[in-house]
Chain A
Amino acid sequence: MMFPFLKTAVTNAFTKPSTEKFPNPEDMGAPAYRGRIVFHADRCTDCGNCVKVCAPKAITRTEEPGEGGKYITRAFDLTSCTFCATCADFCEENSIELSQDYHMVATDPKDLIVSGVTFKKDIAGEITCDLDGCIYCGLCMRNCPQKIITVDRKTKTWEIDHSGCVKCGICIGKCPKKVLSFQ
């Protein structure tokens, strides 16, 4: 046939168009869609993992001293984000979430920055390990965002470089024997 689409064209002209309604506020992204970042600042422990893993360097951290601690502002620049969700995967406290909201349109780029302020209390002590109970499993070493803990199972040593510690407390949570603490 010379015009294979003639029939389709004529049928289409007399049927309902397949165009979607616009704007359609009920319509969200697909179930696993990675859209606008939601940051739960109250859960953040300021471990710094997200800043480290971010490929396009879209996350910035600013610090302001406060009474009995410091205010930490974490800003996610959506105009720089690749929406890979690596930061959400690495966040131990699940404080970063990628919602299904894809309406990320703004005339002012400041509207596209998601930020949250965390108050972090000054913690007096430093991480110490009660070596009697330690089984040298290495979970604290593996989960430390700053990579300052060294554990060697063969020689039974547990070492920490206190100068690099951000006092996030992840190692305390991960320890199966609960032998780590701030002292």
Chain B
Amino acid sequence: MFKKLVDNSALKSPWIYHINTGSCNGCDIELVAVLTPRYDAERFGFRLAGTPRHADIVVVSGPITSQSKERLIRTLAQVPEPKCVVSLGSCPRSGNVFKGSYSVEGPLEKYVHVDVSVAGCTPKPEAIMEGLYKAAQILKEKREAMKK
């Protein structure tokens, strides 16, 4: 029964860690807009965590530049299980207009399995919220699959 309680809590309290891998800042401000009074993601328990150790959902924005590749891999390795990776906007999935640049090392799928992709350039806050909510549900499934 305790396990069931914990599994349900995974859906209700997903903490987000946001990493910018060379994004143009468009997606970043829209992600912050999700936490403003108008959209208020905190009512579903979403909270912006300060460190990857506290995070459940890692939100990646940007096309993964050569400089940020190392940091991205290190950040993703620090997130405790169960975790979920969300790609925000077109950049992490494909490189968008930066595709083929000498300094872009994307896509994100090369380094980690992306659970939810939110398309748009930039996505609307409602769409981001929808993506995060879907990620929380995947988080719960992952938590249920865990033994303890």
Seen from chain A, the residues whose Cβ lies within 8 Å of a Cβ on chain B are 17-20, 22-24, 27, 29, 33, 35, 55-58, 77-83, 102-107, 109, 112
Contacts and interface: CB of A to CB of B under 8 A. Distances in A.
B119 A19 contact: no
B37 A18 contact: yes
A56 B94 contact: yes
A105 B119 contact: yes
Given A20-B38, A56-B95, A112-B119, 18 more contacts: A18-B37, A19-B37, A19-B40, A20-B39, A24-B126, A35-B120, A78-B90, A79-B119, A82-B90, A82-B96, A83-B121, A102-B124, A103-B126, A104-B123, A105-B127, A107-B115, A109-B117, A112-B117
A150 B123 CA distance: 43
B interface residue count range (under 10 / 10 to 19 / 20 to 34 / 35 or more): 20 to 34
B99 A81 contact: no
Nearest to A111: B117
Given A18-B38, A102-B124, A55 B97 contact: yes
Interface of B: 37-40, 43, 87, 90, 93-97, 99, 114-121, 123-124, 126-127, 129-131, 134, 138
Given A23-B130, A107-B115, A107-B134, A102 B96 contact: no
B38 A78 contact: no
Contacts of A107: 115-117, 134, 138
